Amino acid sequence: MAAAALLLTPLATAANFTNSSCTNIRAPTVPGATVLSISGAEVHNYSSRPLPPFFLDTVSGLNVCNVSVFLSHPGVNDNVLVQLFLPLTAWNGRFQATGGGGWATSFGEVQLSRAAAGNYAASRTDGGHPDDFYDPSSWALGPDGKPNIGLLTNYASRSLHDMAIVGKAVIQSFYGKEAAYSYWSGCSTGGREGLAEAQLFPDDFDGILAAAPTINWPSTITADEWPQVVMNNEGYFPSQCEYNAFIGAAVKTCDALDGVTDGVIGNLDACKFDPSILIGTSVPCPGGDIKITSQTTKIVQMILDGPKSARGQRLWYGLNPGTDFLITANTTISPTTGKAIGLPFQVPDAWIKLFLKADPTYDTATITYEQFRQLFRQAKSQYDAIIGINNPNLSAFKAAGGKMITWQGLADDIVFSEGTVSYYEQVQKATTGKRGDTQDFYRLFLAPGAGHCYPLAGPVPTDAFGPLVKWVEEGIAPDTLAAAGAPSAGGPPLGPSVSRILCPWPQVARYDGKGDTADAKSYKCAKSFK
């Protein structure tokens, strides 16, 4: 953590510094790793490229020192890149490490440029493998055909700590002073990476933004395959048109339970949606009307319930009512038979093929219910210790003065919100024993109707990182996060007029009953919606 003597005065003013030559930065010492090389070059008027579908906006006009550090770990035979963008002028005195998504340890230079545009010294790491969001096949299996535990360990946690060490050392060498504060920023895989830092390396960062985190990775990612297993075993593959009928029915049933009829399910605790109410309903779809059958409603109910044991006990969580089915329950038309078939989400499909079966040719469409349960148990027993990232005891992070924010969409179709809430509840018990004390250093914000790191029917935070910085540096904890709808690659545009507040869980944003329902000013944090 940063020493008190390193505080920026004033914080809003760029730090004064005399930077050294970009080509003459000292090689850092990284415990447990060997630094293979370090190089730096000044880059002027840099412009980032969009990274569809995740980042469509771009940054231009950056003047940075672009530093690349390559390192390796004994016995792993890896070549890990840690890259930094160091602002040549107007550095704000802070360090921001950036996370990745899916199977990518980082989002590459697109995230570096966004952080550097805010005058942060920014870093990222590739974990020693290509930053491919969907496909880990180039690195998942070693030469012996077995899962590459070394690179998986890099991806899970080791390379993140290395990046923190390298980043701080390079900043010290280039600017001649330490960063006053160090931050982590990430969503999804990046959120899991942030929690890994808090759990395993509590002194690395003063503030951590860990949004929609894929904690409990072996359980969460295996469960992401469940909708495909259900459709394959039940022998029917509903179209998205049919699934949308269930989304609409769920919203109609539960929308008003939060006091506002706005197309968003906010009060999930009170939502008792029964898919069977649609049996016999004709749904207008491309190609003709489709009648909803008991078979279809069974499939939907099983997807909402999540996977269960043979005795009916829940193994993991499922989709919340009103959540999109497009990613984990996607279907397509077979080019050979002309019939509907499942279209698995690549991330869990690769996880099962490569890390559980160690067989790239394994056909996940053949998984029976009992085989799925076996895979679920195998995933937990084999990989929880490596990439579970589910230790709720954050006492060391709290003692170090760390602050953390997590926000989670309630219509997330990849990371199940119940899993995130369950982890937070465990943190309360393991770290402090009392709910209020956890709020002193870690706050969870739930976003009704929001998807996985993006808006869907409901808005997402307009800026969760700024409140984190304010909490760390000024001691002002965020009582709310401002949220709004905006054009997004993942979801439809909601328009700038739709705004909300998000409240620290377990509080909810309650409508005042008289104001504009699309205006955040009409909402206050409360214990319940009534």
Alpha helices per DSSP H over 32-158:
109-117, 149-153
Contact 78, 128 (CB under 8 A): yes
Active site residue 452: yes
Nearest Cα to Cα of residue 344 among 416, 450, 248, 237: 237
Taking the C-alpha atoms of residue 195 and residue 392, their distance in angstroms, rounded to an integer, is 10
Contact 182, 164 (CB under 8 A): yes
Nearest Cα to Cα of residue 382 among 364, 350, 416, 357: 357
Taking the C-alpha atoms of residue 124 and residue 112, their distance in angstroms, rounded to an integer, is 7
- Choose, from 452, 488, 499, 522, the residue flagged as catalytic: 452
Question: Which secondary-structure segment (H or E) carries 167?
Answer: helix 159-175
Which residues 6+ apart lie within 8 Å of 357 measured at CB? none
Taking the C-alpha atoms of residue 506 and residue 435, their distance in angstroms, rounded to an integer, is 9
With b meaning 16 or more CB within 10 Å and e meaning fewer, what string describes 31-46? eebebeebebeeeeeb
Query: Residue 53: what are its φ and ψ, rounded to 5°?
Result: -95, 10
Active site residue 188: yes
Q: What would you report as the CA-atom Rg of the chain, rounded to the nearest whole angstrom?
A: 23
Helices 159-175 and 189-200, axial angle in degrees (round to 10): 80
286 burial (CB, 10 Å; 0-12 / 13-18 / 19+) is exposed
Nearest Cα to Cα of residue 216 among 446, 420, 403: 420
Which residues 6+ apart lie within 8 Å of 21 measured at CB? none
- Choose, from 131, 162, 412, 413, the residue flagged as catalytic: 412
Active site residue 255: no
Cβ-based neighbour number of residue 56 at 10 Å: 11
Q: Is the preceding omega at residue 461 within 30 degrees of 0, hence cis?
A: no
- Choose, from 48, 123, 188, 488, the residue flagged as catalytic: 188
Which residues 6+ apart lie within 8 Å of 177 measured at CB? 6, 15, 17
The CA-CA-CA angle for residues 499, 505, 511, to 5°, reads 40
Q: Is the preceding omega at residue 10 within 30 degrees of 0, hence cis?
A: yes
Catalytic residues: 188, 412, 452
